[in-house]
Amino acid sequence: MQMVAFRVQHYRSIIDSGWVDAGETTVVVGKNESGKTSLLKALWKFNPYHEEAYDLQREWPRGQRKLMSDEETVVTVRYRFNEDECAKLAAIGPLLAETTGVEIARTYAGTYTYTFLPEHPTVEANPGFISTVIKKHFGNTTLLALENVRAGYRGFVDAITNANRIEPGAHPRAEVMATAPRAGETPYRRFSDAATTTLQGPMVQAIQDVYVQNPVRQAVEMVHGWLPTFIYMDDYKVFTGSAQLNQLAQRQETGKLTDEDRTVLLILEMAGLRLDDEMRKVTLPDKEQRMLDLHDAGHTLTEEIAHRWTQKKYEVRFQADGYHFITFVKDAATDILVPLEERSKGFQWFFSFDMTFMYETRGEFRNAIILLDEPGLHLHAAAQRDLLARIAAYARTNQLLYTTHLPFMIDYSRLDAIYIAEDLEGVGTKIRRPWETSDPDARFTVQAAFGLSWAQSLFAEQGTLVVEGMADYWLLSLASTLLQEAGDAGLRADITITPAGSASIMAYVGSLLHDQRLDFVMLLRDIPQDDSPYARVIQSWIEGRQHLLLLSAILGRAPGCTTEDLFPAADYIRAVEQVYATRLSGAPLTLAGDETQPILARVTTALAARGVADFHRDRVARRVMGELSARGTLTPSTQEAVTRVVAAINAAFTADDGVKLMPQLADT
C-alpha cells in the first residue's frame, strides 16, 4: 500500500489542511508557527508504531469548542494498492475485483472508517450476496408462506442489509459480533412464537454469513493488516559514546536505562558487538583478541556510515580498559583520536540521525512512512545537502515527509513535491502546492533556495545550461532525473540548469556568463529573425559556432518546439484540460493543425478559440510534472527523445575546443 494523499482536520491550528498529494518524498515549507509540526503529529498518530491516542481536550482547535466531538475525523489517508494486493482482494470475491485503493479516516476516538476506491463496495452493490445467503438458510422454510412471517422476513432482510452499512472500526470482527444480535432483534419480535422458534436458527446463521463472511468486511481486515507504520522523528539526540559497561549492564537489568545508555547500546549493536560478550571479555586473559575485535567493530561501523558524511573523511575507533568503553571518531587525515561526544554539534547531530534512522528502519520498518520535523537545523549548508541525499536514499524503501524552513533542504529538481504551510487568520493552517500564489513570507524559503542555487551555478566552475523559463527548467530536470532512475545517463552532475525568465533575457544572461569566461550553453526553441539586441547576440554566436543548441535541430522536428514536445501530446493536452477545466466547462480541448507542429503553438491557438487568451505555461508544466512523478517512468518515445537531448547537452560541454554550436544549426 502506498499513501497517495492525506488530509488533516480539527487538529490544533489545523481546521482543514486540504488534500495533500504524497509521493516518495513530500516537503512542507513554512515559517515558524505555521502548523508544520501539527501536520506531522496528526499524521503520526494515525497509525504509530507505539500506540499514541489523540487527545480531544488538548489537541482540538481553540475557538471551535461547540463542534468538539470524539467522533470527528482527524486524519484521512488515501492509499493505492499494488498489483499483488489487488489480486489478493479480488480473490475474496467479485465485489472487490475492480478495487484499486482505499480511503481510511480516523477519529479522535480512534475509530477507523474504510471506503474502497474507486467506488465503495457495499452489500447493496452486490445484491446476489444477500440473495445467496437468504436462499441458503430460508429456501426450504414453509413458514414463509404465512403473511405475518413474510413481513418479519422482509424486515429481517432489511435489517441485515442496513446494519451492514456501518463502517468497520479498527477491530472489525469485534464490531461485527457486537452488531449482529442487534440486527435481528426487531424482526424477532414480529413473528409469532412458533415462527420465532422455527426461524431463529436460520436467522442466526444468516447473520453470521452476512457479517463474518461478508467480502467487504474480510477486505477491511486484510487491508488493516497492510497499513504502513508512521514514524515521527523530531529531536535527534546527541550521542554519547562512552560508558562503564558493568554499570550499564546493571541499569539494563533493573530497567533503569538512561538515554545515554541507549545510545551506547545502539552503537554496540550497529558495530556488531554485544554487551554481554564485552562484559565477559573483561575477565578473559586474552586481551589481544579483545583489541582485535574492537578494531574490527570500528572498521565495520566506519564502512557502514562514514560515506554518508562528506564534510570530512573519518573513522570510528573503539577502545576499552576493563569495563570502561570509549567511542572515538578520528579524522582520516590525522592520528588524533577525539571522543564522539567532543565532536562538533553538527557532526554529532548527523551521526545520531543516521544511526537512529538506520536502526529504526531496519527490517520491520521497511515500507514505513517517515515523518521528519525540521531535520538538519544544526548542520552547515553543505552538510544539509548531504542530508538531502540521505533522505532521497531513505525514500527508496520508505515514503518520507519532512518539514523545513532551510533553503538548502529544498530539492529544487522536484518542485512538484513542495507544499507551503500557511496559518491564515480565521481559517487555520492550510497546506498548498501552488506556492507562487501563497504568502510571500511563507514562500521565502523556496525563493531563497532558487536564488542560492542559481547564484551558485552562474559563477561556479561548472557548466551552466541556460533555458528560457521555469517550465523548461522543471520539465528538463525531472526528465533527466527519471532517465537516471531508469538506469540511463542523465545530465552530467556538473551541469546546472538556469532559467532566464524569457527568451529575450537569455541573451543578457549569456553575455554575462561570456564576459566572465564561464562555460555555458543556451538551449533555444527558435532562431530570432528580427533586428532586436537579442537577435543580434544570437546571430553573433551562430557565426562563431558557439554556445547555442536548438531543440528542433536535436530532435529533427519543426522549428519552435519546446521541452513540452518531449512528452506525449495527449498527456500535455490532458494537463491543459485539468488546469483550465472551469473555463473550458469540462469540455475536451480540440487542437487544430498538423501534429508535427509544436504543441505549445497548437494549445495556445485552441485555447484562444475557446476564449482563453491568458495561457499559463508554468501551471500546466507543474501538472505534467505531478503526473510524471506519480508515474515514475517515461514512455519509450519520451525516453528516446530525452536521451537525445541529454546526450547533445553533455556533448556540448565536453567538446575539446570549447563549447560548439550544434552542427545541424548551421544549416537552419
* C-alpha span between 204 and 181 (Å, rounded): 8
Instruction: Give the closest residue to 77 by CA, choosing from 21, 128, 126, 7.
Output: 7
What is the arithmetic mean of pLDDT over 150-166? 58
pLDDT tens for 256-303 read 988 788 888 888 988 899 999 999 999 888 888 899 999 999 998 888
Average pLDDT over residues 643-649: 91
Which of 109-113, 168-172, 336-340 has the weakest average pLDDT?
Answer: 168-172
State the pLDDT confidence band at 668, using cuts at 50, 70 and 90.
very low
Average pLDDT over every residue of 480-492: 88
Q: How confident is the model at residue 42 (pLDDT cuts 50, 70, 90)?
A: very high
Q: How far is CA 34 from the centre of its chain?
A: 20
Which residues, other chains included, contact 178 with Cβ-Cβ below 8 Å and sequence gap of 6+? Answer: none
Whether the link from the prior residue into 181 is cis, omega within 30° of 0, is: no
DSSP-derived 3-state class of residue 243: strand
pLDDT of residue 47: 92
Percent of the chain scoring above 70 in pLDDT: 71
Mean pLDDT, residues 564-568 taken together: 90
Per-residue confidence (pLDDT) for residue 414, from 0 to 100: 65
pLDDT tens by residue, 409-433 = 877 666 667 888 888 877 888 887 6
* Chain segment 67-110, per-residue pLDDT in tens: 899 999 999 999 999 999 999 988 887 767 788 999 999 999 99
Q: For residue 165, what pLDDT is reported?
A: 41
**Rounded distance, CA 92 to CA 517, Å?**
68
Binned at pLDDT 50, 70 and 90, residue 312 comes out as low
Lowest mean pLDDT among 179-183, 336-340, 516-520: 179-183
Residue that is written with C-alpha cell 543580434 in the block: 536
Q: Is the pLDDT of residue 325 over 90?
A: yes
| pLDDT over 60 (residue 349) | yes
| Residue 178: predicted pLDDT | 34
The pLDDT of residue 396 is 75
Least confident of 145-154, 160-169, 229-238, 320-329: 160-169
Evaluate if residue 208 carries a pLDDT over 50. yes
**pLDDT tens digit string along 519-558?**
788 888 877 777 666 677 677 766 666 678 888 888 888 8
- Per-residue pLDDT band for 64 (boundaries 50, 70, 90) equals confident
Which region among 168-177, 400-409, 582-591, 592-601 has the lowest average model confidence (pLDDT)?
168-177
Comparing 448 with 41, the larger pLDDT belongs to 41
pLDDT at residue 470 tops 90: no
Q: Assess whether pLDDT exceeds 90 at residue 493.
A: no
pLDDT at 317 over 60: yes
- Per-residue confidence at 441, pLDDT binned at 50, 70, 90? low
Find out whether 623 and 575 touch, Cβ atoms under 8 Å: yes
DSSP per residue, 171-190: SHHHHHHHHHHHHHHHHHHH
Bridge-based pairing state of the strands 2-11 and 14-16: antiparallel
Contacts 24+ apart (CB under 8 A), 389-395: 390/308, 390/354, 391/25, 392/25, 394/357, 394/361, 394/370, 395/24, 395/25
By C-alpha distance, which of 43, 40, 37, 6 is closest to 21? 6
d(CA 85, CA 77) in angstroms, rounded, equals: 17
Model confidence, pTM: 0.56
**CA–CA separation, 413 vs 391, rounded Å?**
14
Q: Is 5 left (phi over 0), alpha (psi -120 to 50) or beta?
A: beta
Taking 80 as the threshold, does the pLDDT of residue 447 lie above it?
no
Mean per-residue pLDDT, 2-9: 95
* pLDDT value of position 142: 63
- Comparing 164-173, 430-439, 444-453, 650-659, which segment has the lowest mean pLDDT? 164-173
Instruction: Please tell me the predicted confidence (pLDDT) of residue 528.
Output: 72
Mean pLDDT of the chain: 77
- β-sheet bridge partners, residue 520: 464
Asked whether residue 164 carries a pLDDT value surpassing 50, the answer given is no
Measuring CA to CA, which residue among 415, 348, 402, 354 is closest to residue 374?
Answer: 402
Q: Which residues contact 343 (CB under 8 A, 6 or more apart)?
A: 329, 351
Other Cβ atoms within 10 Å of 660 Cβ, number: 19
For residue 17, what pLDDT band results from cuts at 50, 70 and 90? very high
Nearest to 166 by CA among 94, 86, 111, 118: 111
| pLDDT over 80 (residue 503) | no
